[in-house]
A and B are shown apart, each in its own frame.
Chain A
Amino acid sequence: MTAIDWPAFLLVLVASLVSAVAAVSLFAVGVRLLAAPAAGAAAASFEPDDQGEDDPTTPADARPVGATVGAIAAFAVAAAVAVVGVLLIIH
């Protein structure tokens, strides 16, 4: 009988939880920044879809430049987390 490797189960749980939440949060920060409103935008001008699940971003020309740059940086770091995950299994 081979012993059951309990620490490995814990490692899988912690590693996948940390990496997934990090990647998703970074991507979400990027999404949030892309939706940064133009100066003076009023809430009343936008009619949200029925569940607020599929709204578009702020048009690029109306969005503050800092928000666009921040969003790209957030997406890049999220992608880097994914690439590290793939590199881990290539032996």
Chain B
Amino acid sequence: MNESIALVVLVILFALVFDFTNGFHDTANAMATPIATGALKPKTAVLIAAVLNLVGAFLSTEVAQTISGGLLAEKDGASVGTSIVFAGLIGAIVWNLTTWYLGLPSSSSHALFGGLVGAAIVGAGFGAVDYGVLLGKVILPAVLAPFTAALVAFVATRAAYAITRRSDGLPDGRRVFRVGQIFSSSLVALAHGTNDAQKTMGVITLTLVAAGLQTAGSRPELWVVLACALAIALGTYSGGWRIIRTLGTGLTAVKPAQGFASEVGTASTILASTTVGFALSTTHVASGSVIGSALGRQRREVHWSTARRIVTGWLFTLPGAAVVGALAALIARLGVTGVVIDAVLGVGFMVAVFLRARPERVDASSLEAEVAAAGGAVRKRRRTDA
């Protein structure tokens, strides 16, 4: 009994670590474009995102309940145990840290689902996964969400430019869109908190149910909501600067009107999806919006090589995390020793990635310098023109 309690504690700790990586991996979704246009200073942006993620986490528990009682089927002889959830979390964390190191905005949700599915198949057989839910609630939204967001952002950007365009040569006032961006990106951060923090709440609840500490189908406990909210907020505040750089400057040079339209597109797609119950990848939506809004401008410029790199990351996220989750589940089959080996390997991997990333650190000040350099080039050109 003591062993199983220890395992539950270990799973909760790793789930919170995943939630933290989820936070810093996804700061970019809301804050890459306002930082890129200079609407918000990097430090201010991540602080706003962290606070709104914290608030968002308390707003709803619908998605958490979908996860704790949906994806993994509790059928005869194929019930999902605590060690399987643990192995799945290792798969998700390893994948999230790898894509963060590469600066790829991949989906934290897919890493989580992939890890859990891989671990469940190895640990409890193919019958342990509800493939209908996997296809309808995870894979299809994954394919459709970026296109939906891109279309929405494309039309919205067109509208924003068409309405504010002037033919008389007088100033068009588009600088005001920077102010708008503060609100639109905040809306995205809030939407992110409502959707993503709940995924970890779902996993912890799933563990508590599997260990017999909570009745099946009940809502997440208050301390679970509180812990997840804090973990994702702290992760968000620590800022995934590498991904912010990719999304904010790697895909296209984002302008205020375009950034505003892109963020409103992201927020509306996430909010609409949460309302109908899709546990959506906010990352896919944000990336799709940035590309859609770039295409909506007359001076369209999309760095398709970066876009291809991002999409490749998406394609591999579910299977990649599934393979790591499956391997971890194989090791976990050794019993207590296996779980300990998994934990040591998992922690070792986290430490190794952070150490490797240190020499080429991307942080708030280096990013601010990049944005300022881009702004300086524009101002200089203006002076020469005049």
Contacts and interface: CB of A to CB of B under 8 A. Distances in A.
A29 B152 contact: no
A75 to B, nearest CB: 8
Interface in A32-54: 32, 34-35, 37, 41, 43-44, 46-54
Contacts, number: 189
Interface in A50-80: 50-58, 79
A68 to B, nearest CB: 12
Interface residues of A, number: 52
Interface in B250-276: 255-257, 260-261, 264-265, 267-269, 271-276
Interface string A1-35: 11111001101110111011101110111111011
A50 B261 CA distance: 21
A33 B187 CA distance: 24
B382 interface: yes
A90 B271 CA distance: 10
Interface string B135-152: 111001100100011011
Contacts of A4: 132, 135-136, 140
Contact of A16 (B177, B180, B272, B299): B272
A19 B59 contact: no
Contacts of A47: 382, 385-386
A56 to B, nearest CB: 5
Interface centre among A8, A28, A29, A85 (most CB of B within 10 A): A28
Interface stretch (B19-27, B107-115, B153-161, B344-352): B153-161
Contact of A56 (B136, B140, B173): B173
B268 A20 contact: yes
Given A12-B273, A32-B164, A55 B255 contact: no
Given A82-B183, A89-B275, A55 B171 contact: yes
A21 B171 contact: no
B378 A49 contact: yes
Nearest to A36: B173
B175 A55 contact: yes
A91 B151 CA distance: 29
Given A5-B136, A50-B378, A89-B194, A27 B260 contact: yes
B267 A85 contact: yes
B79 interface: no
A83 B176 CA distance: 20
B155 A17 contact: yes
A76 to B, nearest CB: 12
Nearest to A41: B170
B74 interface: no
B311 interface: no
A28 B159 contact: yes
A24 B144 CA distance: 22
A12 B160 CA distance: 22
Of residues A2, A16, A32, A91, which shows the largest number of chain B Cβ atoms within 10 Å of its Cβ? A16
A85 B191 CA distance: 10
B60 A91 contact: yes
A46 B244 CA distance: 35
Contacts of B381: 50
Given A35-B173, A50-B381, A90-B59, A20 B278 contact: no
B170 A23 contact: no
A47 B277 CA distance: 50
Contacts of B155: 17, 20-21
Nearest to A75: B180
Contact of A31 (B59, B152, B173, B273): B173
Nearest to B38: A54
Interface of A: 1-5, 8-9, 11-13, 15-17, 19-21, 23-25, 27-32, 34-35, 37, 41, 43-44, 46-58, 79, 82, 85-86, 88-91
Given A31-B257, A52-B172, 15 more contacts: A4-B140, A16-B273, A19-B268, A19-B271, A20-B153, A20-B156, A24-B160, A24-B264, A25-B159, A28-B160, A29-B163, A44-B169, A48-B171, A55-B175, A88-B275
